[in-house]
Amino acid sequence: MANKFRRDKVVFALIVMGFMAVLSRAFYVQIVKSDFLQEEGNKRQVRTIDIPAPRGVIYDRHGDVLALSTPMASVWVDAKVMYGYQTAYRKFLKLLGMSEKELLQTAHNRLHKRLSFIRQEADSKVIDEIEQLELPGIYLKKVKMTLTPHDIDGKAGAPIAISADIPSIWVDSQQMLGYQHVYEKLSKLLKIPASNLKDKVEKFSSRRFLYLQRSVEPDLSRQVDELNLYGVYIEDEYKRYYPSGEITGHLVGFTNIDDHGQEGLELAYEDWLKGKSGRKQVIKDRAGRVVDFVKDVVPAKAGSDMTLSIDKNIQFFAYRALKSVMIEHQAKSASAVILDAKTGEVLAMVSLPGYNPNDRSQLSGDGIRNRVVTDLMEPGSTVKPFIIAKALDLGVVGLDEKINTSPGSIRVQGYRITDTHNHGVLKPEGIIQKSSNVGASKIAMRMTPEQEWQLWKDVGFTKDSGLYLPGEATGYLKPVAQWQTIDQVSASYGYGFNINLLNLAHGYLMLANHGEIMPLSLFKLNQPPQKTRVVGAEAADETLLMMEKVVARGGTAPKAQVAGYRVAGKTGTVHKTKQGGYEQNEYHSLFAGIVPVSDPDMVMVVAVDEPSRGVYYGGSVAAPVFKEVMQQALRLRNVPHDEMLESSN
Amino acid sequence: MMVLMSLIAIIQVQHQIRHTETQYYLALQKNLQAKEEWGRLMLEKMHLSAPARIEQIAQSKLNMVLEKSAESHNLQTIYLQEQADGQ
């Protein structure tokens, strides 16, 4: 009895001990080690992937889009996986001794539930090798059954008896699609020849990451995704579009394929524009495909937008006019800047030759230079109005004072300064109208070098434009201590120092604003800028009226006249510099204008580099561009006429 | 009893949180899609309203040119009426 009782106890104790073991193990796994195990599990399937963030939008002053990021996708492959499946699949076919067509045909005809029976294989070596391939969709079974196969359409075939003695090979033809004809399938969608894809994957077969195609449209990428190919993945990204293309090319710049700014504003304001990509957690299956979305760890933060002061339409007309002048005069390059005379905002900035930022093949070479800021030049006669205004302001010359420029040349420190003709006795007005170098020199010599130097400094010729455009070249003006009389004199008619076109346009703001100047702005301003005085209002206004004579009949630029508006301007025809001197027959044609005179609204500066059709005077080459653009711009900006329209009959 | 009720309440609140979260993510998704759609439409608008395109259509289809001539049939004829009371 006691014996029996004891056996009970022993069994009970054993069971209890067994349960205790299970429980303690469960406790250990579920509670003590749970964090570690969960983490390990997550490591194997939860993946953190980047969410791309779009760059900010760039608008023009009327809210039209100049640059925009749209969602795109990249198709990439895990070349190692893909190549591995390809070789394994070929090996599988070889082991079976079947062609792909035969295999597919058999699979097609012998469907049983989800799987297709291929055949039974007695050779254990073959079976071992097939097993080692680890190809998805291929199964080895040892079953005894009789099945009635169906083909895909559900038609029943002759029954087959399978014995359990030797393994039978089954395939899932759906799963096999993931590695059959991958190159052909991809080639059809991506429009890349299949052989290229194959070569690429084979060449980089050890890589785990290989871009096949970037900037794929979302529709197409979805189709690629739906192919469910092993080792082929889709990555979301953004592509930058520039709807106005070449017209705003230089100013806005462009980004590279990784969405980083490379030129223009895209580069200058990279930090502002760029988005901050976020991260999200997803669950991936063994093949690396996303099966479930867990959560956003860090949400993507889109870049900030910016509104430029550019007017897209004025920019277009400037671009078109420059393009036609380039062709008409076979010029090497041409550029123009248009400023809002009242606020200093840049309304348009065009440089030619240009490029289309949407076309990657064009993004190199000479065309990408924004010549408005990168190219330095001597401004020539276009700076004479500054000297006259300053002289009037200082009182060293009177409005009606007569200055003798005969015989059309003077000598300063042994250098001969000449005019095109002998203009005889000229008033300051005449000096501007006839663009007399001798006259300007004589007036400059009445100032101290410090006074003249201060003028150039005040109109901003000694510093950059403050717009932070990449590649901007800062002009060079000798320090006043090094100035000799000849430097002072040649500066008065625009030689002996360098500025870029933007500097020149900036300086003209002074003449358009009653002697005051304000900083330039590429962004739309909400409040009027701070102005600083350069010369007295009276002197600046008088000079502006003199400049009107330049455009009047008998001046150097009657071609700049705009019907219905009073135009003030100044031409410049500058000999290009060469090593140690000046080119005899290569010129810069310049025109700077302010319109309308009664209440200046816009300042435009045009430069045409090396017009080579015989005509090279600023009044003949650059002035017509001014007229062409301004008549459109004045209309677009609803500027009231300040002159009677001549009857057009 | 109180413990039981608060346990049930916790479950209830958790459920609500999950529900709200789902809605939030859906709204976020919708926002993103709307933005992308906006971008596409904006690009299309910019393309259609490009000054060069408008100019070309105005000139070729609507015959809007600055030069008036008989060949391009864009001259306007104004009839001058003789006034009734002579002169």
Please report the pLDDT score of residue A321 as a whole number: 94
A232-274 pLDDT tens trace? 888 888 888 898 888 988 899 898 888 888 888 999 999 999 8
Nearest to A68 among B43, B50, B51 (CB): B43
Does A215 have pLDDT greater than 50? yes
A524-568 pLDDT tens trace? 988 888 999 999 999 999 999 999 989 988 888 889 999 889 999
Cβ neighbors of A469 (< 8 A, separation 6 or more) are A251, A264, A265, A268, A370, A373, A522
B13-71 pLDDT tens trace? 999 998 998 898 889 889 888 988 898 898 888 889 888 888 889 888 887 777 767 77
Residue A35's pLDDT band (boundaries 50, 70, 90)?
A: confident
- Alpha-carbon gap, residue A15 to A643, rounded angstroms: 112
Least trusted range by pLDDT, from A43-57, A341-355, A414-428: A43-57
Does A520 have pLDDT greater than 80? yes
Question: Residue A542: helix, strand or coil by DSSP?
Answer: helix
Q: Are A248 and A312 in contact (CB under 8 A)?
A: yes
Q: Are A409 and A421 in contact (CB under 8 A)?
A: no
Place of tokens 């390059």: A333
Q: Which comes out higher in pLDDT, residue A81 or A295?
A: A81
Contact A243 B40 (CB under 8 A): no
A350-397 pLDDT tens trace? 998 888 888 888 777 778 888 888 888 889 889 999 999 999 999 888
Annotated catalytic residue A381: yes
Q: Are A154 and A109 in contact (CB under 8 A)?
A: no
- Alpha-carbon gap, residue B82 to A468, rounded angstroms: 68
Give the helix/strand (H/E) hosting A138: strand A138-141
Contact B46 A296 (CB under 8 A): no
- For strands A306-307 and A58-59, give the pairing: parallel
Please report the pLDDT score of residue A287 as a whole number: 64
- For strands A65-77 and A58-59, give the pairing: antiparallel
Residues from chain B contacting residue A299 (CB–CB below 8 Å): 28
Please report the pLDDT score of residue A316 as a whole number: 93
Find, among A477, A459, A340, the residue nearest to A393 by Cα. A459
Residues from chain B contacting residue A316 (CB–CB below 8 Å): 51-52
- Alpha-carbon gap, residue A530 to A32, rounded angstroms: 69
Contact A70 B39 (CB under 8 A): yes
Q: How far is B47 from chain A (nearest CA, A)?
A: 6
Mean pLDDT value across residues A630-646: 87
- Alpha-carbon gap, residue A571 to A619, rounded angstroms: 6
- Alpha-carbon gap, residue A80 to A384, rounded angstroms: 71
Residue A648's pLDDT band (boundaries 50, 70, 90)?
A: very low
Please state, for a pLDDT cut of 90, what percent of chain B lies above it: 23
Find, among A38, A48, A52, the residue nearest to A281 by Cα. A48
Place of tokens 């058999």: A106
Does A591 have pLDDT greater than 80? yes
- Alpha-carbon gap, residue A316 to A322, rounded angstroms: 10
A65 touches chain B (CB under 8 A): yes
Minimal Cα distance from A241: which residue of B? B43
- Alpha-carbon gap, residue A81 to A393, rounded angstroms: 80
Residue A601's pLDDT band (boundaries 50, 70, 90)?
A: very high
Helix, strand, coil percent content, chain B, rounded in steps of 5:
65, 0, 35
Question: Helix count (H) and strand count (E) of chain B?
Answer: 2, 0
* Catalytic option among A74, A116, A173, A381: A381
Question: Phi/psi zone of residue B50: left (φ > 0), alpha (ψ -120 to 50 degrees), beta?
Answer: beta
- Alpha-carbon gap, residue A91 to A96, rounded angstroms: 9
Q: Which comes out higher in pLDDT, residue A617 or B6?
A: B6
- Alpha-carbon gap, residue A126 to A55, rounded angstroms: 56
The two tokens of residue A43 are: 């490591």
Does A223 have pLDDT greater than 60? yes
The two tokens of residue A23 are: 């429980």
Residues from chain A contacting residue B49 (CB–CB below 8 Å): 64
Inter-axis angle of helices A623-636 and A312-328, nearest 10 = 160
Mean pLDDT value across residues A123-128: 84
Chain B residues with a Cβ under 8 Å from any Cβ in chain A: 25, 28, 35-36, 39-40, 42-43, 46-47, 49-52
Does A647 have pLDDT greater than 70? no
Mean pLDDT value across residues A85-109: 85
The pLDDT mean for chain A works out to 86
Extract long-range pairs of A577-586: CB within 8 Å, 24+ residues apart: A577/A378, A586/A610
The two tokens of residue A643 are: 């002159």
Find, among B33, B60, B16, B17, the residue nearest to A218 by Cα. B33
Please report the pLDDT score of residue A2 as a whole number: 53
Q: Is A4 exposed, middle or buried (0-12, 13-18, 19+ CB in 10 A)?
A: exposed
In this structure, the number of other CB atoms found within 10 A of the CB of residue A350 comes to 31
- Cross-strand bridge partners of residue A237: A72
- Alpha-carbon gap, residue A516 to A525, rounded angstroms: 18
Please report the pLDDT score of residue A9 as a whole number: 87
Least trusted range by pLDDT, from A28-42, A144-158, A189-203, A600-614: A144-158
Please report the pLDDT score of residue B15 as a whole number: 92
- Alpha-carbon gap, residue A522 to A490, rounded angstroms: 32
Does A339 have pLDDT greater than 50? yes
Q: Are A66 and A242 in contact (CB under 8 A)?
A: yes
- Spell out the SS3 assignment of A245-307: HHHHHHHHCCECCCCCECCHHHHHCHHHHCCECEEEEEEECCCCCEEEEEEEEECCECCCCEE
Does A296 have pLDDT greater than 80? no
Displacement of CA B37 from its chain's centroid (Å): 10
Find, among A396, A306, A360, the residue nearest to A57 by Cα. A306
Does A649 have pLDDT greater than 50? no
- Spell out the SS3 assignment of A83-131: HHHHHHHHHHHHHHCCCHHHHHHHHHHCEECCEEEEEECCCHHHHHHHH
DSSP-assigned letter for residue A447: S
The sign of the torsion formed by the CA atoms of A385, A386, A389, A392 equals: negative
- Alpha-carbon gap, residue A535 to A508, rounded angstroms: 12
Nearest to B46 among A65, A69, A299 (CB): A65
Please report the pLDDT score of residue B72 as a whole number: 67
Cβ neighbors of B20 (< 8 A, separation 6 or more) are none
Global confidence as pTM: 0.79
Predicted ipTM beyond 0.85: no
- Cross-strand bridge partners of residue A360: none
- Alpha-carbon gap, residue A376 to A121, rounded angstroms: 82
Contact A316 B25 (CB under 8 A): no
